[in-house]
C-alpha cells in the first residue's frame, strides 16, 4: 500500500539558486530525517561549452539522490525536472555539484521545493 504524504503549505520553501561553470560544490542547506523535496528543476540558461560537464544534486552521503548521472545535460540549454518526492532518511547536507570539465562558459538556476 502506498504512503500518502500530507504537509502544510506553510512549511514549504521554494529555493532559487543561481550557478555558473565556476560554482563547484554548493552546500545548499542542512536536511533532517523526514524532510522532503517534492520537485526540483535545473534550468540551463547558458550552455556549458564542454559536453562532458555534469551537474548533480543530492546529499553528502548520496550526491546523486535528486539529480544523478544523465539527468541534466549541461551542454544543452533546457529545463530538467525531477518531480519525484525525495524523502531524507537522516540528517545531512543538501548540495549541488557543478563539474564544468573544461568549460569556460555556462550558467543556470536550480529551483527546488523543500518541505519540513
Quick one: pLDDT band at residue 116, thresholds 50, 70, 90?
Answer: confident
> Sorting pLDDT into bands at 50, 70 and 90, what band is 6?
low
pTM, two decimals, is 0.88
CB-CB contact of 95 with 28 (8 Å): yes
Query: What is the pLDDT at residue 9?
Result: 53
Amino acid at each position: 500500500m502506498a504512503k500518502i504524504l500530507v504537509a502544510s503549505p506553510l512549511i514549504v520553501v521554494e529555493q532559487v539558486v543561481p550557478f555558473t561553470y565556476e560554482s563547484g560544490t554548493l552546500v545548499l542547506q542542512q536536511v533532517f530525517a523526514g524532510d522532503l523535496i517534492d520537485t526540483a528543476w535545473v534550468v540551463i540558461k547558458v550552455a556549458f561549452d564542454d559536453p562532458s560537464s555534469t551537474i548533480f544534486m543530492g546529499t553528502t552521503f548520496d550526491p546523486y539522490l535528486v539529480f544523478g548521472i544523465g539527468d541534466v545535460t549541461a551542454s544543452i540549454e533546457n529545463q530538467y525536472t525531477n518531480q519525484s518526492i525525495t524523502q531524507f532518511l537522516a540528517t545531512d547536507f543538501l548540495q549541488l555539484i557543478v563539474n564544468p570539465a573544461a568549460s569556460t562558459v555556462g550558467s543556470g538556476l536550480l529551483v527546488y521545493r523543500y518541505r519540513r
